[in-house]
């Protein structure tokens, strides 16, 4: 039987893995080929927690997709996939991110601006009338919880809420709110991270009006252990800036349960942040209730402030 890999993005999160597994199950119910969920790195702590909770085997980790037929979930950009992506045949894509894609033939692509790829797959199950096994429902539920921060994040849509409710019922999880909180907490464990880990771990770089902007982010359920190390973290950030590596460096500590962020702002362009958020950042620190997303909440305000300069 033909094998088709269903692949989530690099550094797979719970939505990437949950989508790969739930879409594979769906495809195997209706098609004649064998869909195999694969990932390019091992699951992180949060997804580990989910797979253990529902007693689901970990999908295979693959290093290459060359000469394979593949289906991409939860990503569409080459930069977020395996390097030899270009040597495979992409059959289909299901995703909820911005698009950056070029194909040499028509393919199936479904992209929707919803909170999680798992939500799109849930509605495909409904549309096709395929029933969802409890474990798969638990996995999809966890994917939605992860990407929408228990439906409290800014990307949450009505469709995510509908999928969440129905999947909660099917999964048989008794107290979903408690399960979700425990799951997010499990993923937010930071323990022994060094200041270098914080500012080099989950970091993204942007260029706005010729300025180089670096934003590192860490998700926590308690800010205290990070704040304790804040002087060392600032020193690391300043080292980076003094080597002329960036004009603005933001370190965003996000409390994923309270849905707020404490942001450290350093660099020559730091005044722009006060303007972007209409705030005064005393001692290079700035507290932002409701802010959890770089892409959706921080970058748009920075762009606006730079353009107004």
β-partners of residue 205 are 214
300 phi and psi angles, rounded to 5 deg: -55, -40
- With CB under 5 to 8 Å by kind, the binding choice for 63 among its own copies, Mn ion, none is none
Closer by beta carbon to its own copies, 83 or else 110: 110
- Binding map of Mn ion across residues 131-170, x = CB under 5 A, - = no contact: ----------------x-----------------------
- Tokens 């739930």, residue? 22
Give, rounded to a whole angstrom, the gap between the first and last alpha carbons of the chain: 60
Residues 6+ apart with CB under 8 A from 30: 128, 130
Rounded to whole angstroms, how far apart are CA atoms 217 and 211?
A: 19
Where along the sequence are the contacts to its own copies (CB under 8 A)?
96-113, 127
Please list every residue from 42 through 81 that binds Mn ion, using CB under 5 A: 74
Closer by beta carbon to its own copies, 26 or else 173: 26
- Binding map of Mn ion across residues 91-120, x = CB under 5 A, - = no contact: --------------------------x---
Closer by beta carbon to its own copies, 75 or else 234: 75
Q: How many Cβ atoms from other residues are within 10 Å of residue 139's Cβ? A: 28
Rounded to whole angstroms, how far apart are CA atoms 266 and 70?
A: 43
CB of 149 to its own copies, least distance (A): 17
Rounded to whole angstroms, how far apart are CA atoms 272 and 248?
A: 9
Residue 15 as a binder of Mn ion (CB under 5 A): the answer is yes
CB of 13 to Mn ion, least distance (A): 7
The structure tokens listed for 171 are: 């999964």
Residues 6+ apart with CB under 8 A from 82: 7, 10, 40, 62, 63, 64, 65
- With CB under 5 to 8 Å by kind, the binding choice for 74 among its own copies, Mn ion, none is Mn ion
CB of 295 to its own copies, least distance (A): 9
- Residue whose C-beta lies closest to Mn ion: 15
CB of 112 to its own copies, least distance (A): 5
- Interacting residues with Mn ion (CB under 5 A): 15, 74, 117, 147
């Amino acid at each position: 039987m033909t094998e088709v890999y269903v692949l989530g993005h690099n550094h797979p999160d719970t939505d990437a893995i949950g989508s790969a597994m739930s879409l594979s199950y769906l495809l195997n119910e209706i098609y004649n080929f064998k869909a195999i969920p694969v990932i390019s790195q091992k699951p992180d702590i949060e997804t580990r927690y989910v797979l253990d909770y529902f007693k689901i085997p970990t999908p295979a980790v693959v290093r290459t997709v060359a000469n394979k037929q593949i289906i991409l979930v939860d990503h569409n950009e080459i930069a977020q996939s395996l390097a030899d992506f270009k040597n495979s045949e992409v059959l289909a894509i299901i995703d909820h991110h911005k698009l950056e894609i070029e194909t040499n033939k028509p393919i199936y692509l479904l992209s929707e601006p919803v909170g999680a790829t798992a939500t799109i797959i849930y509605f495909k199950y409904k549309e096709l009338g395929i029933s969802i096994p409890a474990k798969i429902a638990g996995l999809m539920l966890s994917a939605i919880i992860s990407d929408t921060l228990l439906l409290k994040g800014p990307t949450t849509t009505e469709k995510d809420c509908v999928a969440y409710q129905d999947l909660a019922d099917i999964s048989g999880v008794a107290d979903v709110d408690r399960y979700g909180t425990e799951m997010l907490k499990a993923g937010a464990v930071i323990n022994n991270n060094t200041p270098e880990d914080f500012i080099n771990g989950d970091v993204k770089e942007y260029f706005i009006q010729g300025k180089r902007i670096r934003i590192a982010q860490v998700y926590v359920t308690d800010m205290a252990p990070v704040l304790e190390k804040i002087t060392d973290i600032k020193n690391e950030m300043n080292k980076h800036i003094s080597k002329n590596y960036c004009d603005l460096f933001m370190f965003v500590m996000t409390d994923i349960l309270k849905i707020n962020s404490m942001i450290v702002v350093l660099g020559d362009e730091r005044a722009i942040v006060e303007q972007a958020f209409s705030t005064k950042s005393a001692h290079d620190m700035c507290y932002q209730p409701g802010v959890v997303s770089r892409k959706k909440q921080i970058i748009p305000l920075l762009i606006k402030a730079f353009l107004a300069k």
